[in-house]
Amino acid sequence: MENAAYSQDLAAVWLTLKLASIVTVLLLIVGTPIAWWLARTRSAWKGVIGAVVALPLVLPPTVLGFYLLVAMGPNGPVGQLTQSLGLGILPFTFPGLVIASVLYSLPFVVQPIQNAFEAIGERPLEVAATLRASPWDAFWSVAVPLARPGFLSGAILGFAHTVGEFGIVLMIGGNIPGKTRVVSVQIYDHVEALEYTQAHWLAGGMLLFSFSVLLALYTLNPSRRKAL
Amino acid sequence: MSAEIQARFCLPRGDFRLEVDLCLPGHGISALFGHSGSGKTTCLRAMAGLERAAQGYFAIGNEVWQDEAQGHFLPPHQRALGMVFQEASLFAHLSVRRNMEYGQKRVQTSAPASERRFALPEVAELLGITHLLERSTRQLSGGERQRVAIARALLAAPKILLLDEPLAALDLKRKLEILPYLERLHGELSIPVIYVSHSPDEVARLADHLVLLEQGQVVASGPLNEVLSRINLPAAFVDDAGVVIEARIAEHEKDELTRLEFTGGLIYVSRRQEPIGTLLRCRIHARDVSLALVPQVQSSILNCVSGTVLDLAPTDTPGHVLVRLDVAGCPLLARITRRSADKLGIRQGLALWAQIKAVALLD
């Protein structure tokens, strides 16, 4: 009985780390071009796109989760697409959870990277252009290295925020052991079952983890405190 | 090597409009001079392709980088140019050496060997930065940063070097530290340099060709002294009127004076350190020149040369006129009161003596 409970806790921890790692990588891939565009565009759409990206900061996770559930469900546009591609339906699966988490944590990655790109300004890229670097080359050889603190903050925040999410996991992922049951949901289960000892272990672990992450962020990278 | 530079840009920016049509020599230093807001930096950026003029043409020799009439525009990274900005924009994430290699590496992969003109050790030596190569850019002084930026630009095998007020962000001491290197470049570079500046002293010291810009328009363009000795320039430039003469050190005399010789005669200045034979550029302000009909022997002013009046023109102040003299082929400007001009009967062809109260040696 004890062992089974522990292995369930471990499975939840493992699943959480797996989810957060995959989501962080995807967030960097998706977030970087958005951040680059937001940092450099003079388009009238900048405000609109910026606001859409920032929405998860203020929306209750249930609202985002609800719309995603509808969209990815059997009758939703995304659901129909995934079905026609033979992928089945995403809600209550790990891939569905990944997609929801990416959307939910997007602002935490985009904003620090965007701030870093904005801080670099136009000049280093102009210099690179006069030194024969194409825009693509200059992006990788100048903009990305100079924005490194922003990428670091973005990755840490994205990872930590994904580890800490709860509402959207319940809405999209449900509570399937080994598949979608992450630590935050596991704690909820323990508390519901009045298993306070196990809840303490996991909750304490989360507290320690979150504190360490923020400590690292603040001490390694003092200038980016604003990113929060 | 000495392919001419053709630059025509029409670039409206809100209230401001840059409209230039320039033909610059393909060697030596051409200065774009004007007050802030005159469009000199915009003009330089247009040459680099960092600003795209809807109506624009830019060519070095037979290499056309922009010809909007043909819909042709090379982006900056495809132009063989070197550019140095007002503030040294070294890449903070790279060491001095890696900064210098940034452009060099990219040229070597894209250009034939014949285009590579400089080697890194040679350029580092030329700019006196060999001892800094392994440092981080954060450890450099302002003057050192600018020298690294110039070296980095040269290593990208440019066909033209564009300098946007490279000294403006430096204090006087750093300026004096970097100017000799720019003069060295002047002597050793075979490529043309376009130098944007609002400092008359820098221009007088470095330029061979001078372009005066005002409100986006070219008011004068020509060899340095020809432009400087024009007396019909707009008011904004008259205040600083004066000429630059190139003189050779003839002798260091016993009483701590150095005698300089130029085509128009002799001038004495305070004792110089340079050896005999060195060429120096001196600037003589129009306001430091007074005129007399006979040589003034009973005067404390040492420097006195004879010349003839070419013409005279009004200045920005109604009581003063500007007189242009020919001193054995050398132009000289004198700013005197209209009353004195009338009293002396100054007119074209009159022979007289010019007393030079001060000679500014450009260093």
From first to last of its 228 residues, chain A has per-residue pLDDT tens of 456 777 888 888 999 999 999 999 999 999 999 999 999 999 999 999 999 999 999 999 889 999 999 999 989 999 999 999 888 888 889 999 999 999 999 999 999 999 999 999 999 999 999 999 999 999 999 999 999 999 999 999 999 999 988 888 888 888 888 888 889 989 998 999 999 999 999 999 999 998 998 888 888 765 544 444
Is B308 part of any domain? yes
b/e per residue B16-45 (b: at least 16 CB within 10 A): eebbbebebebbbbbbbbbeeebbbbbbbb
- Asked if B224 and B249 sit in the same domain, the reply is no
Looking at the structure, tell me whether residues B173 and B290 fall in a common domain. no
Is residue B86 assigned to a domain? yes
Question: What CATH number should be reported for the domain holding residue B46?
Answer: 3.40.50.300
CB contact under 8 A, B153 and A135: no
Q: Which residues of A touch B83 (CB under 8 A)?
A: 127, 130
Give contacts of B194 with chain A, Cβ < 8 Å: none
- Co-location of B68 and B134 in the same domain: yes
Q: Which residues of B touch A141 (CB under 8 A)?
A: 102
Residues B152-161 as b/e (b if ≥16 CB within 10 A, e otherwise) read bbbbbbbbbb
Task: Sort out which chain A residues have CB atoms less than 8 A from B75's CB and list them.
Answer: 129
Q: How far apart are the C-alpha atoms of A201 and A78, rounded to whole Å?
A: 38
**Cα-based distances in Å from B292 to B95, B147, B336, B353:** 61, 47, 11, 5
Predicted confidence (pLDDT) at residue B109 exceeds the cutoff of 70: no
CA–CA separation, A206 and A183 (whole Å): 8
Pair B166, B261 in one domain: no
B156, A145: Cβ pair inside 8 Å?
no
Residue B323 is assigned to a structural domain of this protein? yes
My answer on whether B281 and B352 are in the same domain is yes
Q: Do B91 and A123 touch (CB under 8 A)?
A: no
Task: Look at residue B234 and tell me if it is in a domain.
Answer: no
Asked if this assembly's ipTM is beyond 0.95, the reply is no
In a domain, B198, yes or no: yes
Give the nearest partner residue to B93 out of A130, A137, A146, using CB atoms. A146
Of A119-133, B94-108, B174-188, B316-330, the least confident: B174-188
Strands of the sheet containing B289-292, edge to edge, are: B289-292, B351-356, B303-314, B320-327, B330-337
- Domain with residue B249: its CATH number is 2.40.50.100
Q: Which of B197, B228, B259 is the last residue of a domain?
A: B228
- Taking the CA of residue B190 as centre, how many other CA atoms within 13 Å lie in the half-sphere pointing to its CB? 7
Contact B102 A124 (CB under 8 A): no
Question: Is residue B10 domain-shared with residue B134, that is, in the same domain?
Answer: yes
Same domain? For B177 and B216 the reply is: yes
Identity of the residue in B83, B91, B92 whose CB atom sits nearest the CB atom of A130 = B83
Q: What is the pLDDT, as a whole number, of residue B112? A: 59
What per-residue confidence (pLDDT) applies to A226? 45
Give residue A41's pLDDT: 92
- Is B237 within a domain? no
pLDDT score recorded for residue A154: 94
Inside any domain, residue B235: no
The answer to whether residues B218 and B314 belong to one domain is no
Of B105, B127, B354, B120, nearest in space to B242 by CA: B354
Interchain CB distance below 8 Å, A135 and B77: yes
Record: contact B156-A127, CB cut-off 8 A: no
Partner-chain residue, chosen from B85, B156, B162, that has the shortest CB–CB distance to A132: B156
Cβ contacts of B91 within 8 Å, gap of 6 or more: A124, A127, A128, A142, A145, A146, B98, B99, B102, B137
Is the same domain home to B219 and B284? Answer: no
Structural domain of B94? 5-228
Q: Do A134 and B77 touch (CB under 8 A)?
A: yes
Across B184-204, average pLDDT: 86
Q: Strand ranges (DSSP E) for B165-254? A: 193-197, 209-214, 217-223, 242-252
Do B127 and B220 lie in one domain? The reply is: yes
Final residue before a domain boundary, out of B203, B228, B253: B228
Residue of B78, B98, B106, B110 best to disrupt the A interface, most CBs of A under 10 A = B106
Q: How far is A124 from chain B (nearest CA, A)?
A: 6
Residue at a domain's end among B228, B250, B266:
B228
For the cut 60, the answer to whether the pLDDT of residue B1 exceeds it is no
Look at A130 and B93 and tell me if their CB atoms are within 8 Å.
Answer: no
Residues B155 and B266 in one domain: no
Measured between CA atoms, the residue of chain A closest to residue B101 is A131
By CA distance, what is A141's nearest residue in B? B102
Tokens coding B232 = 């019909």
Instruction: Please state, in angstroms and as integers, the Cα–Cα distance from residue B26 to each residue in B88, B126, B150, B212, B225, following that order.
Output: 26, 22, 19, 18, 18
Write the pLDDT tens digit of every residue in B47-87: 999 999 989 999 998 899 999 999 999 999 999 999 999 88
Which domains are seen in chain A, by residue range? Answer: 2-227 (1.10.3720.10)
Q: Measure CB to CB from residue B107 to each of A123, A132, A145 and give the nearest one.
A: A132
Neighboring chain B residues of A123 at a CB cutoff of 8 Å: 85, 89
Q: Does B172 touch chain A (CB under 8 A)?
A: no
CA distance B51 to chain A (A): 11
The answer to whether residue B184 scores a pLDDT higher than 90 is: no
Residues B178 and B62 grouped into a single domain = yes
Q: Choose among B77, B89, B93: nearest Cβ to A132.
A: B77
Q: B41 lies in a domain?
A: yes
Query: What global pTM score does this model have?
Result: 0.84
Q: How many domains does chain B have?
A: 2
**For B255-286, how does the pLDDT look when each residue is reduced to its tens digit (9 = 90+)?**
999 999 998 888 999 898 888 988 888 889 99
